[in-house]
Amino acid sequence: PVSTNWCLVHATHITEAEAQNIAKANAVAGLCPITEANLGDGIFPARHFPGAYGIGSDSNVLIDAGRELQMLEYSQRLGQRQRNVMANDTIRHTATALYQHAVSGGAQAMGLGHGFALGAPASFVTITGELPEDALADAIFTARAPAVRDVWVRGRRVVENGQHIKAASARAGFDAVLCKRL
């Protein structure tokens, strides 16, 4: 049965009853809003979904967490014809609500904890921004260069100054495979 260990990817076409059952099972809806928009597949029914969600990118149309969250919010706005749909009474700032829900649901889907705790491995992202209070909204809602600066996963830095630490070796490996094929 569906449980907290499940992540239901492409939950775009769920019914209201299915949304309630996913939430009751404490499962995660895995959303890929840019892919859904690119394919013309549909809009996730956020209004009827009280559970956890995470975001991803499966078709590689665009790999950008901020743009995925932006598309999630904008698709809801278009569908419901109102603003700030993903904000709520608990979290009134739209970018904060989007980010916190996606981090929480994403961490659950990957079997990771989230937040900071003494002695726990640190997993976090640093983003660029003029002012700290605007950085999150800028990362999601403005048309800038990618805003992710550094990424740490379980205490290890994997992205530094916007570049994956293994980007050069990955590129070299890709080039070697490509040369063999051509």
Separation CA 96–CA 136 (nearest Å): 7
What is the side-by-side order of every strand in the sheet holding 124-127? 124-127, 148-153, 156-160, 163-164
Separation CA 162–CA 172 (nearest Å): 19
Residue 157 — φ and ψ, nearest 5°? -75, 125
Active site residue 164: no
Active site residue 134: no
Chain centroid offset of residue 110 CA: 12
Q: Which helix (H) or strand (E) holds 107?
A: helix 94-109
Catalytic residue among 13, 41, 48, 58: 58
Active-site positions?
A: 10, 58
